[in-house]
Amino acid sequence: MSDFSLSAINDRISEVSGFVQPLRDNLNQIIIGQEKLIDKIIICMLADGHMLLEGVPGLAKTLTVKTLAASIDTNFQRIQFTPDMLPADLIGTLIYNQKSGEFDTRKGPIFSNIILADEINRSPAKVQSALLEAMQEKQVTIGENTFKMDLPFLVLATQNPIEQEGTYPLPEAQVDRFMFKLLIEYPNLDSEKILMRNNTQAKENVDIKAVVGPEKIINAQSVVKEIYVDEKVEDYILKIIFSTRNPVKYDLNDLDGIIDFGASPRASINLVRAAKARAFTEGRGFITPEDVRYIGADVLRHRIILTYEAEAEELTTEEVIDRLFEKIEVP
């Protein structure tokens, strides 16, 4: 790539990325001790992806998404998934109009820009499938009519890993539709001290103002697509993906018989898209191996399925991903 065209991309990034830091600042005002979560939600949105957030209750998953929505001048819907939910509760339905003698379309809460799918694993398969079409195709079919979703369209789904009663685990095909699966960790001691004080002392409520509109987000997403990827970085990404499918070929003999199913082609596509978005947030017109490593585990952890032998040896997906990144040579 010529220096001139790289310079042009860098200029475009500096022109359209002015909202990234104010957006971070807004989220950091409310969400204490979750800087990586904040950073990766912004990256996922810029890469035009969807995110699955997994963590125990009380780690501000819902609050983070609400604050993000308040920071963007756009529509937001929180949908609480329950075992008795029907697809019509999500996408809408046809209502018979007695005056006209025809059926009118009543759109459901999915018709918004930012969707918080709270406790997604509490809803049955039919509801999960209805969400799938909206996420993948950015459209919804009600009766004979198909409706396009308003852009930007971002689904942030949460699930609680510790409860099994009354839950419907997401099928692998559905989980694969999420660009990221993020594991939310507990805040550190200093962050929790600030959090504790903020929530137990009299203080003024922080008023979150919108710092960016939907047009700027859509514009930024188009600039992200233009970010340059060197062939060496492409090869690095492909080696990582192919090593999940055939570990022995990449001298990962210790992982032979550990991985049942490797990452799908959607993983390599999402690694590039997310790395480009990360480069954008850093003000760069090209991606580096560091960008790939930064978002690698979040793209791969729900796309690698381990064998029973791995479970018997108490090996986790996280450890397998760490091993892959240790072994595959950085260009």
Q: Is 77 a domain residue?
A: yes
Paired with 93 in beta bridges are: 106
Copy the structure tokens of residue 312: 């018997």
How far CA 59 is from CA of 63, 125, 172, 187, 309, in Å, comes to: 9, 26, 25, 8, 32
CA distance linking residue 163 with residue 159, whole number of Å: 9
Kindly report the pTM of this predicted structure: 0.89
**Cα separation, 117 vs 238, whole angstroms:** 32
CB within 8 A of 246, min separation 6: which ones?
262
Structure tokens at 156: 């942030």
Residue 227: both structure tokens together: 């970010």
pLDDT (0 to 100) of residue 155:
93
Total Cβ atoms within 10 A of residue 192: 13
**Averaged in consecutive runs of 10 residues, what is the pLDDT profile of the chain (331 residues)?**
74 90 86 83 94 78 82 89 90 83 85 90 85 86 86 89 68 84 81 75 70 91 94 95 92 87 92 96 94 95 89 86 91 83
67 & 167 share domain = yes
Cα–Cα distance measured from residue 292 to residue 52, given in angstroms and rounded to the nearest whole number: 19
Containing structural domain, residue 290: 227-327
pLDDT, position 164: 61
Residue 34 inside a domain? The answer is: yes
User: Is 5 part of any domain?
Assistant: no
> Crossing angle, helix 3-16 and helix 214-226, to 10 degrees?
160
DSSP conformational letter for 233? H
Q: Say whether both 183 and 240 belong to one domain.
A: no
Eight-class DSSP state of 122: G
Could you tell me if 50 and 146 lie in one domain?
A: yes
What the block records as the tokens of 217 is 């987000």
> 276: domain CATH number?
1.10.8.80
- Give the containing element (helix H, strand E) for 274: helix 265-281
8 Å CB contact between 321 and 292 = no
> What are the distances in angstroms from CA 209 to CA 65, 167, 201?
15, 36, 23
Secondary structure tally for the chain: helices H, strands E: 14, 11
Domain membership flag for residue 221: no
Strand boundaries in the chain, DSSP class E: 51-54, 76-80, 92-97, 102-107, 114-118, 139-142, 145-148, 154-159, 180-183, 259-261, 305-306
Asked if residue 45 lies in contact with residue 217, where contact means CB atoms within 8 angstroms, the answer is: yes
In this structure, the answer to whether residues 188 and 282 fall within a common structural domain is no
Overall residue count recorded for the chain in this entry: 331
Q: Looking at the domain assignment, is residue 44 inside a domain?
A: yes
User: Is the distance from CB of 100 to CB of 137 less than 8 angstroms?
Assistant: no
Q: Which of 199, 214, 236 is the last residue of a domain?
A: 199
**Omega within 30 of 0 (cis) for the link into 57:** no
Number of domains observed in the structure of the chain = 2
In a domain, 210, yes or no: no
Same domain, 57 and 168: yes
Residues 147 and 285 in one domain: no
**Spatial contact of 284 and 10, defined as CB atoms under 8 Å apart:** yes
Q: Tell me what pLDDT residue 228 has.
A: 93
**DSSP letter at 253?**
G
One DSSP character per residue, 204-226 reads: PPP-PPP-B-HHHHHHHHHHHHH
Task: Return the pLDDT at 163.
Answer: 60
Q: Which residue has the tokens 């949460």?
A: 158
pLDDT at 162: 64
